Amino acid sequence: FVLFLSVIFFSGETRYNKDKILQGQGVDEPLSDTGFRQADAAGVFLSNVKFTHVFSSDLLRAKQASASSGKSSCCKDLEIKYDARLRERKYGVAEGRPLTDLKAMAKAAGEQCPSFTPSGGETLSEVRERARDFFEFLCRLAVEAGQNKQQTHSAASNSLGRSEVQSVLPWTDHCSEPELNSDNSGASKQLDANILVVSHGAYMRNWFVYFVSDLKCTLPTTLTKSQLSSVSPNTGVSHFVIKLDKENILRPEINCVYLNQDSHL
């Protein structure tokens, strides 16, 4: 099975975002006018993609962003599934306060941001555990989707010609195309799942660290360490190709096609 996971930061700008005030989970501001425009632009950017599933954080700003993207042809016919595991990192007593306050708290504790955990907040390990749990859920979902295809289609219908493959790959018009696995005939295989995930910057940064440190994700050669550790711009787009072995689905091969793409903004 080959799972293509498309991770989209559709948490567009809010008023608190702009003013550098921590929102986390306890403060859930709606999108600003700019935030809605950003989500619309990202939806257009992905309008040539044929998604099979759409998941979103259940926080208001992510719901609004996912609904805005849902108007695009990329996923207008799909039901958006809301999941608390995709929520932003919880910042406890620092939520609703300026980012400078969190930095001051960290300094007083002799620690550095973002590893510092304010009272009532989530540790980075706890955030990463949420990301791991949700990703393993996606892996099982992809395998189930692949098995359903095998039951309803012949082997021939599971192989796509080159022109057909291009119609379902979002990077075709925006980025260089990675090499896909092929069967013995050399034909590229159809993706079993093409998933859109709508979440938040700090949460997704921890997801990427999990991909790289725990699952040994292959990164673009041009990507720097600072880019990997930075928070994505609002509605930045990241693409991963994930190869699943049905005998050991929790040890996938992951290739990062690009990270925090923001050319649509």
Residue numbering of the annotated binding site for substrate? 61, 88-91
Residue tagged 């980012």 (tokens)? 99
Q: What's the CA gap between 235 and 219, in Å, rounded? A: 20
Based on its alpha-carbon atoms, the radius of gyration of the chain, rounded to whole angstroms, reads 19
Q: Are 202 and 128 in contact (CB under 8 A)?
A: no
Would you give the end-to-end CA distance of the chain in angstroms?
34
168 vs 70, 102, 105, 160, 239, CA distance in Å?
17, 42, 47, 11, 13
Query: Cα–Cα distance between 228 and 48 in angstroms, integer?
Result: 27
Q: Are 264 and 65 in contact (CB under 8 A)?
A: no
Tell me the binding residues.
61, 88-91
Q: How far does CA 253 lie from the centroid of its chain? A: 17
How many other C-beta atoms are found inside a 10 Å radius of the C-beta of residue 188? 19
Give dist(CA 89, CA 109) in Å, integer. Answer: 20
